[in-house]
Amino acid sequence: MNQDTLIVSNWKMNLNFDSATQLINKIKKIKFPNSSKIKNIVCPQFLLIPQISKLVMRSKIILGSQDCHHKISGSFTGDSSLELLKHSERRICHYENNMMVRKKVDFVLANKLNPIVCVGESLKERQNGKYLETISKQLDECLPEKLKSIVIAYEPVWSIGSGSTPTFKEISEINDYTNNFLCKQKKIQKVSFLYGGSVNSKNFFDIMNHCNVNGALIGGSSIKFDEINKILLYA
Interface ranges with ligand PGA (CB under 6 A): 10, 155, 160-161, 196-199, 217-221
Q: ∠ CA(74), CA(77), CA(79), 5° rounding? A: 80
Partners of 217 in beta bridges: 8, 196
Minimum CB distance to ligand PGA, residue 197 (Å): 5
> 83, 121, 125, 155: which is the annotated catalytic residue?
155
Minimum CB distance to ligand PGA, residue 35 (Å): 26
Question: Taking the alpha carbons of 102, 103, 106, 111 in that order, is the dihedral positive or negative?
Answer: negative
Minimum CB distance to ligand PGA, residue 33 (Å): 25
Q: Between 9 and 75, whose beta carbon lies closer to ligand PGA? A: 9
Q: Between 207 and 217, whose beta carbon lies closer to ligand PGA? A: 217
Q: Between 198 and 201, whose beta carbon lies closer to ligand PGA? A: 198
**Is 89 a catalytic site residue?**
no
> 87, 89, 121, 227: which is the annotated catalytic residue?
87
**Residue number closest to ligand PGA, CB atom:** 219
Minimum CB distance to ligand PGA, residue 201 (Å): 12
Residue 172: count other Cβ atoms within 10 Å of its Cβ.
17
**Is 87 a catalytic site residue?**
yes
Farthest-apart Cα atoms in the chain, separation? 49
CA distance linking residue 114 with residue 68, whole number of Å: 12
The length of the chain is: 235
The DSSP symbol for 217 reads: E
Residue 77: count other Cβ atoms within 10 Å of its Cβ.
4
Q: Between 144 and 161, whose beta carbon lies closer to ligand PGA? A: 161
Residue type, 111: N
Q: Which of 49, 59, 57, 56 is nearest to 83 (CA)?
A: 49
Q: Which residues are catalytic?
A: 87, 155
